[in-house]
Amino acid sequence: MRLSLNSRLSAISALLPALLVMLVVYIGATSWTVWISLTSSRMLPNNNFVGLRQYQILLGNDRWITSVHNIVIYGVLFVSLALLIGFLLAVAIDQRIRAEDTIRSIYLYPYSMSFVVTGLVWQWLLNPTLGIQHVLRSWGFEGATFDWIVRPETAIYCLVVAGVWQASGLVMAIMLAGLRGVDEEIWKAARVDGLPKWRVYVSIIIPMMGASFATAAVLLSTGVVRLYDLSVAMTNGGPGIASEVPAKFVMDHLFERANIGLATAAATTMLITVVAVVAPYLYWRTRKGEVR
Amino acid sequence: MQKSNVDIRSLQIGFGGLKVLENLDLHVGASEFLVLLGPSGCGKSTLLNAIAGLIEVKGGEIHIGGRDVTWAEPKDRGIAMVFQSYALYPRMSVRRNMSFGLKVARTPQSEIERRVAEAAQMLRLTNLLERRPSELSGGQRQRVAIGRALVRHAGVYLFDEPLSNLDAQLRAELRVEIKRLHARLGATMIYVTHDQIEALTLADRIAVMQGGVIQQLDTPKKIYREPVNRFVASFVGSPAMNFIPGKLARGSEVAFIAGVNQLSLTGYAFRSQPTEAPAVLGIRPEHIELTASNDPSSVSARVEMVEPMGADTLIWCRLADGTAFSLRHDADTQVRVGDTLTVRFPADAMSLFDETSGQRL
Ligand SMILES: Nc1ncnc2c1ncn2[C@@H]1O[C@H](COP(=O)(O)OP(=O)(O)OP(=O)(O)O)[C@@H](O)[C@H]1O
Ligand SMILES: [Mg+2]
C-alpha cells in the first residue's frame, strides 16, 4: 500500500512539469484568446467587454468568408486526393518492383521540404511566364494554357496541387506499412478464389486498412487547419483575396492590421469548428472502446 | 461432385539458387486422402502451393483430373485450398467469405445460396453465417475456411497444416470432422502436416518427406511397421522408436550382436541376403515384451525411469553394456526404478538398418 502510494507520488511528480506547461500554455493561452475576442481590442489588448461584436464583424468580412470557403475546398480536395494518390503509389510499390527503396525515398522526399520551399517551387512551376505553360509553348504547343495561379477562381486549386504533391509521399509510407501487414495467405486464398487483383484491393484489402486510412486522414487534417505558409509562399493570398485561408487571416490581423480582437475572434471560430468535429469522433472512439 | 486424380511428373522448384524440390514424382488417386508429412522446411508447403498454382515451377508437369495444368491459373485447376492461418477475409461476414469467390465467378445466386447452405450445414456453421471472422473462435474460423473451400465443389482439396494453430483438443475434434468430411464427399484430398498423429489417423497413404525428397509413400500401417530408412523410422511414432547399434552375425542362424547380447533374427523378413556388417536395430517401445528369465532369447535390463502416460507407462531401461531403450507397459504396472527386467525383442517387429546408408535391410 505504501509502496503504491510512493510510486503514485513519483509518477505525479514526473508528470508535473508537463501538466503545468499544459495548464499554463495551452489552457491559459486559449482562454486568453477567447477572452480577448470578446473585447474591443485593436492594436493592444484591452479588457473592454463588447460581447459578440467581433464575431458579427467577422461574419460580415468578405475576406473571412472567402478564407472559410477556400479552406473547405482545400480540405476536401487535399485530404481525398492525398489519400487516393498516396494509396495508389503504395499499391504500385507493393507489386514487388525493383529499386523499391529508391522509389520510396523519392516519393517521400517532398515531405521533408518545408511548405515554404514547396510553395516557392510550385509558384515557379505554375507561373505562366516561367513554368509549365512557358515550357509547353516553347516546345511548340502554342495554344497551351496553364494559368490557374493567376486566375482568382482557380488559385486555390494550385494550393491543393502543391499540398497533395508534398503530402502524398507520407500517405504512401503509411499505406505501404498497412499493405505489408496483410497476411500473404489472404492473397493466396484470393487467387484460388479467382478474384482479380483490383477486386482484392477494393473488397478485401481497403476494408482491412481502416486504421491506416484514419491515421493518414488525421495527419492530413491537422495540415489543413494549419494551412498558412503554403498560401503565403505561393500566392500570398492572391490574386486579390482569392486564395486567402483562415490561419493567414488570423496572422495578418494580429501582426499587420493591428486588429487583435478580430484576429482572436477568427482564431476562436477555428477552434470551435475543430472541437465540433473532433469531440463527437473522440466520443465515438471511446464508446467503441468500451463496447469491445 | 467430381473427383480428380493428381499426377506430378519430375517436378522441379527452386527459389533463386535454392533448389527445394528436384525431380519429384507423385501420383494421387481419385478420392484418395494423401498426407504429406515431414519436418519443417522439407518442402511440403512448396509442393502443395505448386499443385495449387501459387508458385511457378521450374520444370516438370502437373496433371489434375487428366488435364495438364502446369501453367493454369489457380482458379482454373479445379482445386480448393485451406490455409494454416485461415486466411479469411476479415471484414466480410462468414456468408460473404464463402460466397464471394462464387459471386465474382458469376455463379447464379440460387446456386450460391444452395452451396453455402449445404457447406454451412455440414460444418455446423448455420448459426454463425452473419458473424465476422473476428467474432469467431479459432476452431470456428478454421471451419469457415474449410467451408469456403467446400463451396468451390473442387476436384481436389488442398490443406496446408489447417489445424496447427489450434489447441490439442480442438485439433482432435476437427481431425475427426475432416475425416468424416472425406468419407462423406469422397473427394481427393492432399493434406500437409508435420504432426504424425494427424498423418496416421487421416491418411489413406502418407508421403514422408525430407529435404525435398519423398522418402516413403505407403499406407500408414506400412510406414509405421516397415519404415524404409532410419529417417522415416525415427520421424514417425511417439514415443520414438528405439535404435540399438550392433552388428549382424551369421552362425547357425542370423543374429544381431549388441555388446554381450545376442538377439535372434529368425522370422525377420530381410530384403536382401544379410551380410556380416555393422547395423542398427530399430524397435518400437510397444513391441518389446517382458518374459520369463529362462527364455533363451531374452536379455536382462535395469529400470532407470518410469514415465506414466495415462493409458500406459513408458519404462526406460539400460542393458548391461550401457545401451538405453524404452518399452511400453500397462498403466498399472508394478515395475519400479532399480528393478531388473527380462525382455525379448521379437524379430518380426524389428526393423534393421544399414549403419552407413540408413536403408532398411
Ligand atoms: N518464398 C521463398 N523464397 C525463398 N525460399 C523459400 C520460399 N519459400 C520457401 N522457401 C524455402 O523452401 C524450403 C521449403 O519450404 P516450405 O515452406 O515448403 O517448407 P514446409 O515443409 O512447408 O515447412 P513448414 O512445416 O515449416 O511449413 C525451405 O528451406 C524454405 O526456406
Ligand atoms: Mg509449410
Look at chain A and report how many structural domains it folds into: 1
Query: With an 8 Å Cβ cutoff, are B101 and A193 in contact?
Result: yes
User: Which of A18-22, A144-148, B145-149 shows the highest mean pLDDT?
Assistant: B145-149
Instruction: Report residue A290's pLDDT band, with 50, 70 and 90 as the boundaries.
Output: low
For residue B361, being part of any structural domain is answered with no
Give which of B295, B292, B300, B294 is closest to B318, Cα–Cα.
Answer: B300
Q: Are A186 and B89 within 8 A, CB to CB?
A: yes
The CATH number of whichever domain residue B155 belongs to comes to: 3.40.50.300
Residue A250: give the domain boundaries.
63-291
Scan residues 149-208 of B and list those with Cβ closer than 8 Å to A.
Answer: 152
B264 shares its domain with B186: no
Strand arrangement, sheet containing B188-193: B79-82, B156-160, B188-193, B33-37, B205-210, B213-218
**Given a cut of 50, is residue A292 above it in pLDDT?**
no
Mutate to test the pocket of ligand 1, among B11, B21, B37, B42 (most ligand atoms within 8 A of CB): B42
Cβ of B328 less than 6 Å from ligand 1: no
How many whole angstroms separate alpha carbon B205 and alpha carbon B221?
A: 9
Q: Measured from the CB, is residue B212 less than 6 Å from ligand 1?
A: no
pLDDT at B210: 93
Atom of ligand 1 nearest to the CA of B44: 21
pLDDT greater than 60 at residue A2: no
Chain A residues in contact with B91 by the CB 8 A cut-off are 204, 207-208
Q: Give the amino acid at B183.
A: A
Q: Which of B87, B100, B104 sits opposite A183 (nearest CB)?
A: B87
Which residues span the domain enclosing B189? 6-231
B27 touches B217 (CB < 8 A) = no
Nearest chain B residue to A186, by CA: B87
Residue B117 in any domain: the answer is: yes
- Ligand 1 touching residue B194 (CB < 6 A): yes
What's the average model confidence in pLDDT over A53-57? 84
Question: Are B52 and A194 within 8 A, CB to CB?
Answer: no
Cβ of A196 under 8 Å from any chain B Cβ? yes
Tell me if chain A has a CB within 8 Å of the CB of B343.
no
Peptide bond just before B239 cis, omega within 30 deg: yes
Evaluate whether residue B105 is within a structural domain. Answer: yes
Are A199 and B104 inside 8 Å of each other by CB?
A: yes
Q: How many percent of chain A have pLDDT more than 70?
A: 97
User: Is A42 a domain residue?
Assistant: no
Residues A154-172: tens digit of each pLDDT:
888 888 988 898 888 889 9
Tell me, yes or no, whether B128 and B165 share the same domain: yes
Q: Alpha-carbon distance A104 to A111, whole Å? A: 12
- Nearest ligand 1 atom to the CA of B43 is 18
For atom 14 of ligand 1, which residue has the closest CA?
A: B43
Q: Which residues of B touch A196 (CB under 8 A)?
A: 104
DSSP-assigned states of every residue in A169-201: HHHHHHHHHHHHTS-HHHHHHHHHTT--HHHHI
Confidence check: pLDDT of A288 > 90: no
What distance in Å separates the CA atoms of residue B328 and residue B308, rounded to the nearest whole number?
10
| Chain A contact present for B15, CB below 8 A | no
Distance (Å) from CA B246 to ligand 1 centroid: 37
- A195 contacts in chain B (CB < 8 Å): 100-101, 104
Task: Give the ligand 1 atom nearest the CA of B39.
Answer: 25
Contact B87 A208 (CB under 8 A): no
- What is the residue whose three cell numbers read 554381450? B260
User: Are residues B191 and B215 both part of a single domain?
Assistant: yes
Question: What's the domain count of chain B?
Answer: 2
Identify whether residues B174 and B278 lie together within a single domain.
no
Please indicate, yes or no, if residue B360 is contained in any of the structural domains: no
Widest CA span in chain A: 84
Amino acid letter for position A98: R
Of A152, A156, A136, whose CA–CA distance to A230 is shortest?
A156
Residues B320, B192 share a domain: no
| Residue A3 predicted with pLDDT over 70 | no
Most B-contacting residue of A182, A192, A197 (CB-CB within 10 A), to test interface: A192
- Chain B contact for A143, CB < 8 A? no
Is residue A50, in this structure, part of any structural domain at all? no
> Are B22 and B70 contained in the same domain?
yes
Residues B157 and B301 in one domain: no
Assess whether B135 and B102 both reside in one domain: yes
Ligand 2 mean position to B143 CA, how many Å?
A: 19
Residue B38 lies in a domain: yes
Of A192, A203, A204, the CB nearest to B80: A192
Q: Taking the mean position of all CA atoms in its chain, how far away is CA B79? A: 21
Supply the residue whose CA is at minimum distance from atom 6 of ligand 1: B15
Report which protein residue has its CA nearest ligand 1's atom 18.
B43
Dihedral sign, CA of A115, A116, A119, A121?
negative
**Alpha-carbon span B170 to A261, nearest angstrom:** 70
The predicted structure's pLDDT at residue B201: 93
Instruction: Indicate which atom in ligand 1 lies nearest the CA of residue B209.
Output: 21
Protein residue closest via CA to atom 10 of ligand 1: B15
Interface probe for B, chosen from A193, A205, A288 (most Cβ of B below 10 Å), is A193
Residue nearest (by alpha carbon) to ligand 1 atom 22: B45
B222 and B273 fall within a common domain: no
Chains A, B: CB contacts within 8 A come to 65
Q: What is the CATH number of the domain that holds B344?
A: 2.40.50.140
Contact B148 A189 (CB under 8 A): yes
Grid cell of B50 as nine digits: 505448386
Is B15 inside a domain boundary?
A: yes
Cα–Cα distance for residue pair B257/B262, rounded to 1 Å: 5
- Give pLDDT tens digits for A85-136: 999 999 988 887 777 778 878 877 777 777 788 888 887 887 777 778 778 8
Quote the minimal CA–CA distance from A87 to chain B in Å: 19
Best residue in B75, B86, B89, B160 for a mutation probing chain A (most A CBs within 10 Å): B89
Answer with the one of B200, B231, B262 that is the final residue of a domain. B231
Model confidence pLDDT, tens digit, residues A199-246: 999 999 999 998 899 889 988 988 888 888 888 888 877 787 888 888
| Substitution site in B45, B57, B192, B235 for ligand 1 pocket (most atoms within 8 Å of beta carbon) | B45
pLDDT for B1 equals: 60
Cα–Cα distances in Å, from A216 out to A70, A168, A181, B207, B245?
22, 10, 16, 50, 66
Distance CA B155, CA B157 (A): 7
B57 CA to centre of ligand 2 in angstroms: 17
Q: Which DSSP state fits B241?
A: P
**Of the residues B180, B207, B231, the one at which a domain ends:** B231
Considering chain A, what is the average pLDDT of its residues? 84
Residue pLDDT tens, chain B, 361 long: 678 999 999 999 998 888 899 899 999 999 999 999 999 999 999 999 999 999 989 999 999 999 999 999 999 999 999 999 999 999 999 999 999 999 999 999 999 999 999 999 988 899 999 999 999 988 899 999 999 999 999 999 999 999 988 888 888 888 998 999 999 888 999 999 988 899 999 999 999 999 999 999 999 999 999 999 999 999 998 889 999 999 888 877 888 888 878 888 888 888 888 888 899 999 999 999 888 777 777 888 999 999 998 889 999 999 888 888 999 988 888 888 888 889 989 988 999 999 989 899 8
DSSP code string of A40-56: --SSS----B-TTHHHH
Is residue B81 assigned to a domain? yes
B56 touches A at CB < 8 Å: no
Q: How far is CA B83 from CA A137, B159, B210, B215, in A?
A: 59, 6, 21, 25
Q: Is A16 part of the contact surface with chain B (CB cutoff 8 Å)?
A: no
Nearest to B90 among A190, A192, A208 (CB): A208
Residues B219 and B256 in one domain: no
**Nearest CA residue ID for atom 5, ligand 1:** B15
Nearest of B356, B355, B37, B48 to residue B224 by alpha carbon = B37
CATH of the domain at A158: 1.10.3720.10
Cβ contact B151:B115 at 8 Å: yes
User: Would residue B1 count as lying in a domain?
Assistant: no
The answer to whether residues B193 and B333 belong to one domain is no
Give how far B235 is from chain A: nearest CA, Å: 28
CB count within 10 Å of CB A105 equals: 11
Residues with Cβ within 8 Å of B310's Cβ and at least 6 positions away in sequence, in order, are: B331
B266 and B193, same structural domain?
A: no
Chain A residues in contact with B79 (beta carbon < 8 A): 192
